Structure 1
Amino acid sequence: MRDDVATAVRSSEADLPLSLEDVVPEFRVVVRGGNRRGIRLERFFWTALKRFAMSRKSTLGQTVEDISSLAPETGNLTSAIRVACARWLAEENTDLRKLASLRRVNALLMACPSPAFALSSSKKIIAFNQAFQLLVRRQLPAEPSDAGRHDLKLALDLNVADIFARLAADGDKPVVTGFVIGAADRRYRAQLSIVRAPMSESEVLLAFVSGS
């Protein structure tokens, strides 16, 4: 049976974030107030339980004790622990998704006093702040009859794919590159300081105009 499980897990590794080590049960003893509890859980849930306890600023033993006090007397403690961990992970994932959204990226841009914009992996400006809008209007004035800057073009000194690669290698260090925006026969050149936007479902860059 164990060989069958191992084969099934290995065959799905390319599609699922799962490894054999995650599903192998481990027996550990948890101590709280002199009380010792022997618990058998999969390694994944031991890791999740430890993170859950840290998020509560609590110990592993206290967290298990709290879960036990909420579980029915006739219930299964290990099942209650798995449910508690799964629910906490789901809530944490929901909170992270709210943070990792274009709406939150737009809020970050609006809070920035300097010109800034969000750039997709296809080099399309998908959001910008008022300071950037004023910069474009000042440097690349449109005709009075033109309601927008649909002819605006952007060019970066560095390839967008190279920028993503550099940020993947060292995400704590912004990438600096020159850029040019143009419309009609006008051009404006300056520098950008670029970081990866906090988005999980798409690749987006946050670009801040740092100097001309």
Structure 2
Amino acid sequence: MATTLVIGNKNYSSWSLRPWLLLRHFGVPFDEVRLPLDTPEFHEKVWQWSPTGRVPALRDGELAVWDSLAICEYANERWLGGRGWPADLARRAVARCAAAEMHSGFGALRGQLPMNVRRVPRERHWDAAAQRDIDRVQALWRELRGAAAGQGDYLFGDFGIADAMFAPVCVRFRGYGVPMDATARAYVDAIYALPAMREWVAAGLAETERVGADEA
């Protein structure tokens, strides 16, 4: 039966990017349904796919999965043969911690620097709380990249779920001109070099809809 991923705008929807990027990177076939955010079409149709009225939502046959991290976990078991997480038990635990921290934390960063693929850097306008989030992200990236030195370009060497969870942060850092250390710059460049990421960014740049709250 068909697999469908329902997403919001590629320009704005950070939560949609995460599972989309994972599925596309690993070559999982799926149909894509894009519902533009904050539109009558979205509010009319999203309930057909998601019991929460939010995106992303995955429909695999009759099964509905409606959370970004849950979709990634499901994909890892259903299609990836476990490749979404590191093979080593301890590293897998750390990767899950990093993904969960991104999933539930960094509220100031998300609120003050909303994802916007089209955004170009201009004046800094985030506060100390967002800066603490930025500092924590970069410290975490330094720690993880240091432990994975020589094993690949991503947080645990090869691209995986933890990277998918942090991909929207890379968009935020570039779009807002966040000062980055050398590790962060190299990691952001690696995420943007992914063919799947280039595909998403190109589609986001081509969109014409505007969501005022995300044009900060």
Structure whose alpha-carbon radius of gyration is higher: 1
TM-score range, shorter chain: under 0.3
Structure having the larger proportion of residues in helix: 2
Q: Which has the higher contact order (CA 8 A, sep 6+)?
A: 2
TM-score (ref. length: structure 2): 0.23
TM-score (ref. length: structure 1): 0.23
